[in-house]
Amino acid sequence: MDKIMSKIPPFEPGSVWLVGAGPGDPGLLTLYAIEGLRQADVLVYDALVSKEILSLTGEDCILEYAGKRGGKPSAKQNDITERLVALAKEGKRVLRLKGGDPYIFGRGGEEALTLEANNIPFRVIPAVSSGVGGLAYAGIPLTHRNTNSAATFLTGHDVNGEVPSVNWEHIAKGSPVIVVYMGMKHIRIITEKLIGFGRDKDEPVAIIANATLANQQVLKTTLQNAGDDVETSGIQPPALIVVGHVVDLSDRLGWFAKVTQP
């Protein structure tokens, strides 16, 4: 282990590491992420980062919260990005810690472009996305030879908080498995669109809340009943919506938390 850690590049003053914290379980952090947390002078972190992960920073590291949650007062993205630039120009080793993977619905690309435009050296540390790790902890393979050889990742809302303007017909007809991030607010509209473009109303759906954490919840339902069952169950975001017959495998592969059904 020491030999591996010794080969991790140094965290240079005046630079920014854009680091993925993964879906929640601290055990899914990469070695680069752990070493970055230990070396950082300032940690700018998201809302979904756990206390266990935050505790991995050095004693002198300054923690700055920059979380964004729907429907609640939140930091503006431009302010967060400009703060990264300002801290780096002060000569700080700045670690920007983002839930999941920085480049999968994490706006890491926007932050990286601003850093590049300001000549700030940066490194991107990828992570296990919740759309992969969350499914694994729920006993749902993202792909399985007997069910699908393709999958689609989809955000449940656009920049204005509305249902995204994607080609719903092509997604409904072309993707055997659909994983929706941040889609709880619009779950009724999303499922109605998929059914309207030909998906079977009885196709299995899983809702995975607090993926990979001790309080993980997995609700198994169908496209037709998903909206009602989510409302009745009281399950709350952050949550993933998974559509496809791989969901049925959770009955046999659910090793971490039991799947509940209405």
1 is catalytic: no
Domain identity same for 22 and 112: yes
User: Per the omega criterion (within 30 degrees of 0), is the bond before 238 cis?
Assistant: yes
**What is the separation of C-alpha 98 from the centre of its chain, rounded to a whole number of angstroms?**
9
Q: How far is CA 3 from CA 7, 37, 79, 145, in A?
A: 7, 19, 39, 38
pLDDT value of residue 262: 65
pLDDT digits (tens, 9 = 90+) for 35-67: 999 999 999 999 889 999 999 999 999 999 997
Q: Are residues 26 and 79 in the same domain?
A: yes
Give strand pairing partners of 18. 96, 124
Q: φ and ψ at 97, to 5 degrees? A: -100, 120
Phi, psi for 225 (deg, rounded to 5) = -100, -5
Of the residues 68, 185, 193, 248, only one is catalytic, namely: 68
For residue 241, the domain's CATH number is 3.30.950.10
Is 25 considered catalytic here? no
For residue range 165-184, list pLDDT tens digits in order: 999 999 999 999 999 999 99
Which of 125, 140, 164 is the last residue before a domain boundary? Answer: 125
Asked if residue 64 and residue 13 are part of one domain, the reply reads: yes
Domain check: are 52 and 69 in the same one? yes
The verdict on 43 and 16 lying in the same domain is yes
Residue type, 201: K
Which stretch of DSSP H or E encloses residue 83?
A: helix 77-89
Could you tell me how many helices (H) and strands (E) the chain has, helices first? 10, 11
Residue 70 pLDDT level (bands cut at 50, 70, 90): low
pLDDT at residue 68 tops 90: no
- Domain end (from 101, 125, 149): 125
CATH number for 67:
3.40.1010.10
Q: How far is CA 109 from the centre of its chain?
A: 15
Judgement on whether residues 62 and 86 belong to the same structural domain of the protein: yes
Count of domains observed in the chain: 2
Q: How confident is the model at residue 121 (pLDDT cuts 50, 70, 90)?
A: very high
Instruction: Specify whether the CB–CB gap between 66 and 75 falls below 8 A.
Output: yes
pLDDT-derived band at 143 (thresholds 50, 70, 90) equals very high
Query: Active site residue: 25, 92, 182, 184, which one?
Result: 182
Q: Are residues 155 and 91 both part of a single domain? A: no
Q: What is the structure's pLDDT at 56?
A: 96
Question: Which of 125, 148, 166 delimits the end of a domain?
Answer: 125
pLDDT given at position 5? 79
For residues 106 and 185, membership in a common domain is answered with: no
Yes or no: say if 208 and 248 are a contact pair by the CB < 8 Å rule. Answer: no
* pTM listed for this prediction: 0.92
Q: Is 68 a known active-site residue? A: yes
- Whether 118 and 8 map to the same domain: the answer is yes
Residue 161 has pLDDT above 90, yes or no: no
Residues 111 and 193 placed together within one structural domain of the fold: no
- Both 118 and 143 in one domain: the answer is no
Domain with 92, as residue range(s), is 2-125
Instruction: Work out the angle at residue 19's Cα, subtended by the Cα atoms of residues 151 and 159, and round it to the nearest 5 degrees.
Output: 60
Determine the Cα angle at 40 with ends 95 and 75, to 5°: 35
Q: Express each pLDDT in 190-212 by its tens digit.
A: 999 999 999 999 999 999 999 99
- Range 222-236 average pLDDT: 96
Q: Do 155 and 236 lie in a common domain?
A: yes
List 46, 92, 98, 220, catalytic entry = 46
